[in-house]
Amino acid sequence: MLSKGTNPIQDKEWNEKVTKAADSFWSAFRMTENGKPKSGLLVYTFCLSFVMLAVYGAAFFVVIEGLHNLTAGLPVFWGNLIQSLAAAIVGLLVSILLHFVLTDKRLMFGTYLWLALYAAACLITLLIYLRGTGAVGALLTFYGWFVVIPLALGLAVTYYLFRRDYVPPKPDDEPDWKKSLQRR
């Protein structure tokens, strides 16, 4: 398992902390006794993140194919920038549409947080696999153009929309434990 140092007592404490943190994270995906997810927001944003991955994949495929001939005569910097921004705008339009259609205004920002987590995990994994090769520079260039720009724009726009439109629920007079015991 994970090891922090060479001291067995510290290793055991470290492993217990990591296991406890992992269990608390994954417990949010488990169901309650009545079949509802413990954290609906976490589950919904997780599932919606795969939808947005498909949207961005399709956007990049269509935009890059469609703009290739138009940007072929431009310098590489401008061609990549135009293609990246065009695909980002397509993804943003879908995100904005979903933001206005969905009732919970936290969903799209949470979805982009999942996408940022995926992007960070992919980057770390690829850097580990490509270390010592000459491909790291090309990877970082590609990553900057086609991951960082759309992700940064998406995070900025959805955070703005979240802050503008989200209204926290009004607190009820009864504590949560009483609500869970009441029959409906």
pLDDT per residue of the chain (184 residues) written in tens, 0 to 9: 454 556 777 778 877 887 777 666 666 556 666 666 566 788 889 999 999 999 999 999 998 888 888 888 899 889 889 999 999 999 999 999 999 999 889 999 999 999 999 999 999 999 998 888 888 888 999 899 899 999 999 999 999 999 998 888 776 666 665 565 555 5
- 99 CB contacts (<8 Å, ≥6 apart)? 105, 107, 108, 158, 161, 165
pLDDT at 57: 93
pLDDT at site 131: 85
Phi and psi at 37, nearest 5°, equal -70, 145
Torsion angle in degrees (nearest 10) through CA of 149, 152, 154, 156: -140
In this prediction, residue 99 carries a pLDDT of 92
Q: Is 65 helix (H, G, I), strand (E, B) or coil?
A: helix
Which amino acid makes up residue 88?
Answer: A
Q: What is the pLDDT of residue 132?
A: 82
CA nearest to 99, candidates 48, 43, 170, 169: 48
Helix axes 107-130, 40-71, angle to 10 degrees: 70
> Residues 111, 48: contact at Cβ < 8 Å?
yes
Domain boundaries, the chain: 40-165
